[in-house]
Chain A
Amino acid sequence: MTHYLLAVHGPAERDEYGNYGSEAEMNDALTATGAFNDRLRADGYWVFAGGLEPVSTSTVVDGRGDRPLHSDGPYLETKEALGGFWVIDAPDLDVALRLAAEGSRACRGAVEVRPFEGLG
């Protein structure tokens, strides 16, 4: 089994309904994503998942010097940012891609599938 990151990238700037368009759309997406998460757990693929607060809430820390340096906001100026992710445990890429397609449909975003290094 291998651990895969299923990363959902979205616009760095979010509107009132988290870029889903409307409150109804947003609720539909949240419900579908919740149901997908339940299936991941039931089928034994679940490791971890979560949606992230907007990038404006993030802080970057650089601890390489004598004293840690802090800066607010995203690490890189970008229009796209990580909006949420799953970590799943799957036997191979075909299974990971199938789950990613389901997750993408549920959360209404494209999903990047990336294996973790070494034994998952």
Chain B
Amino acid sequence: MAEQAADVRPPPDGAAAVARVFREEYGRIIASLVRRFGDIDLAEESAGEALVAAMERWPASGVPPNPGGWLTTTASRRAIDRIRRESQREAKHQAAVMSHDDTPHASTGPVEDDRLRLLFTCCHPALAPEARVALTLRLLGGLTVAETAAAFLVPETTMAQRITRAKRKIASARVPYRVPEAADLPERLDGVLTVLFLVFNEGYLATGRGEPVRAELTGEAIRLTRILRGLLPEEAEVTGLLALELLVEARREARIRNGQLVPLEEQDRAGWDRALISEGHELVRRCLATNRPGRYQVLAAINAVHTDARTARDTDWAQVVALYDRLARLDPSPIVALNRAVAVAELDGPEVALALVDRLPLAGYHAWHVARADLLRRLGRSDEARAAYDAAIAATANTAEREYLTRKRGELG
């Protein structure tokens, strides 16, 4: 693949560098191995062995020109060794082999991406919703079980059990490893979009204590969304999700400065990626022309308004609030109401917004505390703002967000 061949990587500075490359390549390795051997556990174990081999070799010899290819080849060899060993022990190792289909579906045309097949497997409606996201983050995003657990705020043992149970169901109930046929596609799509958006969000603002922004996850979500759009060009919500992701991704570089999160109004807009923004705007225009509005399209339109403004002061807040009103009709959740209230603050002032925010049952959600802290600060209610910043800091593990909130708390009078 061209994107692999174009990769130029610096020599590794040790185990951490190897681990980083491994994570970036993880989804590709697993998807390729699952396609070849039809067994997720085997794919994961063999990928793990390939990592050990890379840890031994790369620090001395340097990262090979195509690390993904090297890891996949090494993992495949280990998988074959494993199958040989196990088939000598028990002849029925074939029992758990998943069903897969190598013949291209007429309906899916050129889409022959292993990761897309694996994505539809991970997002299969027969799996529990929380297991779908967990599997996608684990198998395609390369998150460890611990990181996946942190993303869901559950103990690691719970997450390990959830993933194990889902993998067992995939194997014994024969959840197929393929892109669904045209007739089933629209139905299966919704679940996939939800998962892709969650993966994107985990990259956009990581829940763990590691890297605060995980470009490989946002990049992966965008890549998979692009493929999905190639598959379903008529589905406005796929276009909407892609537009949303691009318009958010365009601001990625400007969102972190000196390890601190930079809020939208303080970002250096010259640092925004203009190519991504114009692509995103074009997609939003296409959605408007299609006129079948959905949640992702409205979110994309909101981000189009933000990225249209030359400065934060130029933002058309009336338009933003109107779009949030529309979103609230499609998705009447308290999280949408919270984001709407933040926009209302720009239009009607922080006092009106605070009254809206205080009404929401979101005391367990860190963004609620962040919004309250900011509104209280703007109202000059420093003691309450300080308490809200404390609660917000306690509720997030993201280092860049903690740094930002700590600074804002320190600036209180």
For B171, give the chain A residue with the smallest CB separation: A115
- Contacts of A50-102 to chain B: CB distance below 8 A: 91-94, 96-97
Say whether B126 contacts A2, CB under 8 Å. Answer: no
A: contact size bracket: 10 to 19
Q: Is A119 an interface residue (CB 8 A)?
A: yes
Contact B176 A93 (CB under 8 A): yes
Complex CA gap A94/B176 in Å reads 7
- Nearest CB in chain B: distance from A105 CB, A: 16
Determine the residue in chain A with the shortest Cβ distance to B120.
Answer: A94
- Asked if B203 is an interface residue, CB under 8 A from chain A, the answer is no
With a cutoff of 8 Å between Cβ atoms, the chain A residues found around residue B92 in the complex are 118-119
For the complex formed, measure the closest distance between the CB of B124 and the CB atoms of chain A, giving whole angstroms. 8
**Once the chains are docked, how many angstroms separate the CA of A115 from the CA of B173?**
5
Across the interface, which residues of B come within 8 angstroms of A91, CB to CB?
99, 174, 176
Asked if B172 is an interface residue, CB under 8 A from chain A, the answer is yes
Question: Is A117 interfacial (CB 8 A cutoff)?
Answer: yes
- The reply to whether B95 and A94 form a contact with Cβ atoms under 8 Å apart is no
B172 touches A92 (CB 8 A): no
Contact in complex: A92, B176 (CB < 8 Å): yes
Report the count of interface residues on B (CB-CB < 8 A).
13
Q: Does residue B180 face the partner (Cβ distance < 8 Å to A)?
A: yes
Residue in A93, A97, A119 whose CB lies within 8 Å of B95: A119
Chain A CB within 8 A of B3 CB? no
Instruction: Specify which chain A residues have a CB less than 8 angstroms from the CB of B314 in the assembled complex.
Output: none
Q: Whole-angstrom distance from the CB of A3 to the nearest CB of chain B?
A: 11
Which residues of A sit under 8 angstroms from B174, Cβ to Cβ? 2, 91-93, 96, 115
Interface code B109-153, partner A: CB below 8 Å = 1, 0 otherwise?
000000000000000101000000000000000000000000000
Which residue of chain A is the closest to B188 with respect to CB atoms?
A: A94
Interface core residue of B126, B174, B175, B184 (most chain A CB under 10 Å): B174
**A113–B99 alpha-carbon span in the complex (Å):** 17
Q: How far is the CA of A92 from the CA of B40 in the complex (A)?
A: 16
The proximity string for B residues 76-100 relative to A, scoring 1 for CB distances below 8 Å and 0 otherwise, is 0000000000000000101100010
The complex places the Cα of A113 from the Cα of B175 at a distance, in Å, of 12
Question: Given the complex of chains A and B, what is the CA–CA distance between A92 and B101 in angstroms?
Answer: 10
Judging by beta carbons under 8 Å apart, are B175 and A92 in contact? Answer: yes
Q: How far is the CA of A96 from the CA of B125 in the complex (A)?
A: 13
Question: Which residues of chain A come closer than 8 Å to B126, judged between CB atoms?
Answer: 93, 97
- Selected contact of A92 from candidates B95, B99, B184, CB within 8 Å: B99
Contact A117–B172 (Cβ < 8 Å): yes
CB distance from A31 to the nearest CB of B (A): 26
Q: In this complex, what residue of A is CB-closest to B183? A: A98
From A93, A117, A118, contact of B175 by CB (8 A)? A93
B173 contacts A94, CB within 8 Å? no
* Proximity bits, A1-26, B CB within 8 Å = 1, else 0: 01000000000000000000000000
Q: Cβ of A115: which chain B residues have Cβ within 8 Å of it?
A: 172-174
- In the complex, the answer to whether A118 meets B95 with C-beta atoms within 8 Å is yes
Complex CA distance for A106 and B174, rounded to whole angstroms: 25
Q: Which residues of A contact B (CB under 8 A)?
A: 2, 91-94, 96-97, 113-115, 117-119
- B residues touching A (Cβ–Cβ < 8 Å)? 92, 94-95, 99, 124, 126, 172-176, 180, 184
| Further pairs besides A92-B174, A92-B176: 18, Cβ < 8 Å | A2-B99, A2-B173, A2-B174, A91-B99, A92-B99, A92-B175, A93-B126, A93-B173, A93-B174, A93-B176, A94-B176, A94-B184, A96-B173, A113-B173, A115-B172, A115-B174, A119-B92, A119-B94
Report, nearest first, the 5 A-B pairs whose CB atoms are least far apart: A92-B99, A92-B176, A92-B174, A115-B173, A93-B173
